[in-house]
């Protein structure tokens, strides 16, 4: 795959750049989100309409030579028959099994296990794919929707969410209102005549719908003082995340097509001509392109230095004054209740310095265009039906469908994208069995114990480094299902329609809450009492937070194909336990291993041990470099850049497998077939072609079928269970196996 596919959007959102080793969930979106806590890159989604009864693989956009290099007419290119994984197909492509002959477990285990499901499944309306994750997420969504549409209770937070949901579903009201309310905000932006008026606008929380002074902002634990929190100013608001090719490519790629499509559509609805809308969007992209060199430089630092050191750029109050000579950044944040008088971390100081240099009267029209486009992107979910449909159509190049989600799912997603915490809390309180939390906690403790034994047996580690690794393991903060102490959302005020409530009023109330919550977070200590607000536990997924040394196993993942209390231990190990072991391994991957037992960025390795570790990682990268992730669509391999990109998640999958097998060997009569089958089942997936290419370009997890086939083929238990022999597709010689931990 060409390099640009893998540099991709490594930080499509600020959230993803903070959860350094998070394992996200399918976002059941109708279009990419552009709110303050945007959709996770862990599996970014958009949408597409397909004729399911025709069972065709459809794509709303033609693949260009630049994207795919070549299209293979066969599942495996003939000149690559001897390459690693040559017998494997990408079994996650929708419709890929049509007309295909027999598949043996000895040749392609993931395809063998999931074929029957894949041949009968249909991708739901408005979705880009269907998978174990999406299936269970839809089940959880139905529980949330029933709550939001259900009986009113004496619960301020539930009432606010129910009112918000009802406003979103009132299409008659929304269609009648159209753009009248939004136009008052956008007209204010375009009426600004100089930089002083712009500063006044950005300082006014009643007018500035972005919330912050056009800077991606969060509060997170300090990498050098993990018990304390620090304000992080990441970079100027960027449509691209950190993909500099978004600005340097002459033609619109799928991502720029999406942003152009929805923003230009909304501008024409506001009264601009198509030519004016195009000019404003191009001017906005041109303004952001000033940051492209700093983005590219930052990307290189992340690759060469690691995410932790590249992002950790602490500034004192005095140094902030030297950097920001035009943007009154301290005044902006003080008015929001967030003090910048202490230490402040700047992820990309150069990009922020460039922003400050452009914050002048000379660039006022560019600044206005930029702010207008962002205001439209952030509010597109809250206007009328036609706008939402236009957003789904604009997103089609990303995933292959232009259909909106069904109304209830759309409304739930709109709230969740904006303020996931309130939905998380209501889900835990009203929709989740607390007994599951008890059982999954017990399983987590069992896996930690198994991991301790595994570390003790690592003969390539010195006693000193081994002791430090075990100390870190023993100090992991274990967060299972949902926090005991949940945030307070009673300040989110959403009046019902009959009380004069509107969607933009609800939106503004949420933005005010999120800003206030960041200010309050500065005062908290990271002692494990509170979960990180980036953990969205009613969404399928799990995450390791290196700057906290915490594993977070979301409530929503404790069901479906991942967990059932009645299952035998084999299925539990192959389901949610595979996820748990994966997250624990992130504490010892190439990024997580740079943080100590308390979450401080600190080296606890002896040099010779770190060198040995890197050699094991290099073997993994060499292995992945030759793999063809989507042989049905392109004969281009991951390559070294792509292998680096997925290596962190690949390490975690391998480490989990080893830990679980070490536990299995002590269980009498263990059913390995049931265990391995469940490993494959949780990776079942069917995704449109365009969505698969987008996943490949933007997600740092390997393709799902590889997340099954590669971990299992490295262990004798799998080889022996299925009688895999040399020459079979799943065979990997002992000397070629890639075991990092």
* 551's tokens: 């594993």
Contact criterion met (CB below 8 Å) for 507 and 209: yes
Q: Residue 514: inside a domain, yes or no?
A: no
Cα–Cα distances in angstroms (integers) from residue 46 to residues 391, 397, 649, in the given order: 9, 9, 23
Tokens of 614: 């890197």
Cα 671–chain centre separation: 34
Determine the 3-state secondary structure of 415 from DSSP.
helix
Check residue 245 and give its pLDDT: 80
Q: Is residue 512 part of a domain?
A: no
Question: If you ran DSSP here, which 8-state letter would residue 382 be given?
Answer: G
Structure tokens that stand for 549 in this block = 């040394």
Does 402 reside within a domain? no
User: pLDDT at position 278, please?
Assistant: 97
> In a 3-state reduction of DSSP, which class is residue 373?
helix
Mean pLDDT, the chain, rounded, equals: 87
In this structure, the answer to whether residues 265 and 318 fall within a common structural domain is yes
CA distance linking residue 217 with residue 301, whole number of Å: 21
CA dihedral 349, 350, 354, 355 (to 10 degrees): -30
Strands (E), 583-690: 685-687
In this structure, is residue 561 part of a structural domain?
Answer: yes
Same domain, 132 and 191: no
Q: Within 10 Å of residue 322's Cβ, how many Cβ atoms?
A: 10
- Residue pair 217/234 in contact (Cβ under 8 Å)? The answer is yes
DSSP 405: P
Residue 110 Cα distances to 57, 223, 682, angstroms? 20, 39, 10
At 344 the three-state DSSP class reads strand
Asked, for residue 534, whether it belongs to a domain, the answer is: yes
- CATH code, domain with 679: 3.40.390.10
* Weakly modelled stretches of the chain, pLDDT under 50: 1-22, 24-80
**711-688-376 Cα angle (round to 5):** 110
The reply to whether 499 falls in a domain is: yes
Question: Are 283 and 148 contained in the same domain?
Answer: no
Report the distance separating Cα 96 and Cα 496, nearest Å. 47
φ/ψ of residue 282, rounded to 5: -60, -40
- Give the strand pairing for 344-346 and 225-236: parallel
pLDDT number for residue 65: 35
The reply to whether 148 and 186 lie within a common domain is no
Q: What is the pLDDT of residue 57?
A: 30
- One domain for residues 371 and 473: no
Boundary (domain end) residue, out of 363, 383, 403: 383
pLDDT score recorded for residue 398: 81
Token pair for 556: 């929503």
Residues 365, 431 within the same domain: no
pLDDT for res 635: 87
Q: What is the largest CA-CA distance in the chain?
A: 77
Six-digit token pair at 707?
A: 């997340």
Q: What are phi and psi of 687, to 5 degrees?
A: -130, 140
Boundary residue ending a domain (383, 398, 431)? 383
Sign of the torsion angle spanned by Cα atoms 341, 344, 349, 351: negative
Containing 701, the helix (H) or strand (E) segment is none
Name the β-bridge partners of 147.
none
- Are 461 and 368 part of one and the same domain? no
The reported pLDDT for the residue numbered 29 is: 35
Give the integer Cα–Cα distance in Å for 583 and 577.
10
Q: Do 140 and 284 belong to one domain? A: no
Strand partners, 687: 93, 129
366 shares a domain with 492: no
C-beta of residue 663 within 8 angstroms of C-beta of residue 573: yes
Looking at the structure, tell me whether residues 311 and 456 fall in a common domain.
no
Cβ atoms within 10 Å of 222's Cβ, excluding its own? 22
Domain hosting 206: range is: 179-383
Residue % of the chain over a pLDDT of 70: 88
C-beta of residue 566 within 8 angstroms of C-beta of residue 429: no
Count of domains in the chain?
2
Are residues 29 and 140 located together in one domain of the fold? yes
- Asked whether residue 398 is assigned to any structural domain, the reply reads no
Q: What pTM does this model have?
A: 0.81
Cα 170 to Cα 383: distance, rounded to the nearest angstrom: 11
Helix (H, G, I), strand (E, B) or coil at 229: strand
My answer on whether 430 and 333 are in the same domain is no
Whether 56 is covered by a domain: the verdict is: no
What are 136's two structure tokens?
Answer: 């269970």
What CATH number should be reported for the domain holding residue 298? 1.10.1380.10
């Amino acid at each position: 795959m060409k390099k640009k596919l893998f540099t991709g959007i490594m930080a499509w959102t600020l959230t993803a750049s903070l959860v350094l080793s998070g394992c996200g969930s399918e976002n059941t979106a109708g279009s990419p989100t552009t709110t303050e806590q945007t959709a996770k890159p862990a599996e970014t989604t958009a949408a597409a309409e397909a004729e399911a009864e025709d069972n065709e693989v459809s794509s709303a956009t033609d693949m260009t030579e630049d994207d795919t290099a070549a299209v293979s007419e066969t599942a495996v290119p003939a000149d690559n028959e001897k390459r690693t994984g040559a017998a494997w197909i990408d079994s996650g492509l929708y419709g890929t099994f049509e007309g295909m002959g027999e598949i043996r477990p000895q040749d392609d285990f993931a395809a063998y296990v999931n074929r029957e499901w894949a041949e009968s499944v249909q991708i739901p309306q408005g979705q880009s794919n269907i998978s174990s994750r999406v299936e269970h997420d839809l089940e959880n969504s139905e529980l949330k929707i029933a709550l939001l549409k259900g009986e009113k209770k004496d619960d301020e937070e539930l009432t606010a969410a129910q009112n918000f949901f009802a406003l979103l579903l009132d299409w008659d009201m929304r269609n009648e209102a159209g753009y009248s309310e939004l136009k008052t905000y956008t007209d204010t932006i375009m009426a600004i005549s100089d930089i002083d008026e712009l500063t006044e606008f950005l300082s006014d929380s009643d007018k500035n719908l972005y919330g912050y002074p056009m800077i991606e902002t969060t509060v997170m634990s300090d990498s050098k003082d993990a018990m304390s929190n620090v304000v992080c100013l990441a970079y100027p608001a960027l449509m691209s995340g950190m993909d500099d090719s978004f600005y340097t490519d002459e033609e619109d790629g799928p991502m720029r097509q999406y942003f152009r499509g929805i923003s230009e559509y909304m501008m024409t609805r506001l009264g601009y001509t198509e030519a004016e809308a195009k000019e404003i969007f191009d001017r906005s992209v041109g303004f952001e392109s000033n940051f492209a060199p700093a983005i590219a430089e930052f990307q290189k630092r992340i690759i060469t230095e690691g995410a932790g050191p590249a992002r950790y750029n602490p500034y004192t109050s005095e140094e902030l004054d030297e950097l920001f000579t035009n943007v009154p950044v301290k005044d902006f944040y003080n008015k929001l209740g967030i003090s910048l008088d202490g230490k402040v971390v700047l992820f990309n100081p150069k990009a922020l310095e460039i922003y400050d240099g452009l914050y002048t009267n000379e660039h006022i029209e560019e600044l206005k265009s930029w702010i207008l486009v962002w205001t439209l992107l952030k509010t597109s979910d809250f206007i009328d039906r036609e706008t939402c449909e236009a957003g789904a159509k604009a997103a089609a190049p990303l995933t292959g469908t232009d259909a909106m989600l069904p109304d209830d799912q759309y409304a739930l997603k709109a709230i969740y994208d904006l303020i996931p915490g309130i939905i998380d809390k209501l889900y835990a309180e009203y929709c989740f069995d607390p007994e599951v939390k008890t059982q999954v906690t017990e399983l987590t403790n069992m896996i930690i114990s198994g991991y301790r034994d595994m570390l003790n047996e690592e003969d390539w580690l010195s006693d000193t480094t081994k002791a430090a690794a075990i100390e870190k393991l023993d100090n992991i903060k274990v967060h299972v299902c949902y926090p005991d102490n949940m945030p307070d959302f009673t300040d989110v005020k959403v009046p019902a329609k009959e009380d004069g409530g509107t969607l933009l009023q609800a939106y503004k109330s949420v933005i005010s809450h999120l800003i206030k919550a960041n200010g309050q977070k500065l005062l908290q200590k990271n002692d494990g009492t509170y979960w990180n607000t980036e953990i969205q536990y009613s969404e399928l997924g799990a995450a390791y937070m290196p700057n906290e040394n915490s594993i977070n196993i979301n409530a929503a993942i404790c069901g479906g194909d991942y967990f059932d209390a009645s299952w035998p231990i084999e299925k539990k190990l192959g389901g949610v336990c595979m996820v748990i072991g994966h997250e624990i391994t992130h504490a010892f991957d190439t990024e997580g291993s740079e943080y100590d037992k308390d979450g401080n960025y600190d080296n606890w390795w002896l040099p010779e041990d770190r060198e040995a570790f890197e050699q094991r990682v290099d073997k993994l990268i060499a292995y992945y470099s030759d793999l063809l992730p989507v042989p049905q669509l392109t004969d281009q391999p991951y390559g070294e850049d792509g292998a680096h990109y997925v290596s962190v998640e690949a390490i975690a999958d391998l480490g989990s497998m080893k830990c679980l097998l070490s536990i299995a060997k002590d269980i009498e009569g263990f059913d390995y077939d049931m265990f391995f089958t469940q490993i494959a089942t949780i990776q079942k997936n069917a995704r449109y072609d365009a969505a698969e290419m987008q996943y490949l370009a933007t997600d740092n997890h390997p393709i799902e079928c590889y997340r099954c086939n590669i971990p299992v083929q490295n262990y004798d238990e799998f080889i022996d269970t299925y009688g895999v022999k040399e020459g079979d597709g799943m065979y990997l010689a002992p000397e070629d196996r890639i075991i990092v931990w």
